[in-house]
Amino acid sequence: MVAFNIGANVRHGIEQTTGRVYSKVWEMAAFAGFLAGREAARVMTPRGRGTVIFTGATAAMRGGVGYSAFAGAKHALRALAQSMARELGPKGIHVAHVVIDGMVEGAFIEGLVPDYAERLEQQRIVHGAEAARNWVWLWQQGRSAWTQELDLRPWSENW
């Protein structure tokens, strides 16, 4: 199994987003996903089995104010996952895209969010173990009912 997960979440207004910022975010989230997916396919195709899971975000579905670079990159990653799923599924390789809308517990988020402990306790932050349980579920799915896209979000996510 390969799990590709990168945030690349930067916020800049369109007028402040430089070409360098846009291309670096695209490289991290889209191009790196392509490279990981291609190499996984090269290893898994001869075996006739395997699972590739790409972590996306709501930005893959709709762009938000200030997130042009992030949305462009995550849209590209989602399209890559869809194309790979259709190409590699018949070869026995399960490709899935998981949309995570919300913060995921960890040291990085803990350092950013003042009320981190309270939010984590209230389950307003995605628990890593819960996310991992979904990755394992995807990995164990039978071929007759593969999930191509899954959406994970805490109950308190703002719609």
Query: Would residue 67 count as lying in a domain?
Result: yes
Note down the domain range covering 8: 2-102+142-148
Query: Would residue 135 count as lying in a domain?
Result: no
pLDDT at 156: 86
Intervals of the chain under pLDDT 70: 158-159
CATH of the domain at 53: 3.40.50.720
Query: Would residue 115 count as lying in a domain?
Result: no
pLDDT at 159: 54
Query: Would residue 53 count as lying in a domain?
Result: yes
* H helix runs in the chain, sequence order: 19-26, 32-47, 68-88, 107-112, 116-121, 128-140
pLDDT at 10: 85
Residue 115: DSSP 8-state:
T
Whole-model pTM: value is: 0.92
Tokens of 143: 């071929």
Q: Strand pairing of 93-100 and 2-4? A: unpaired
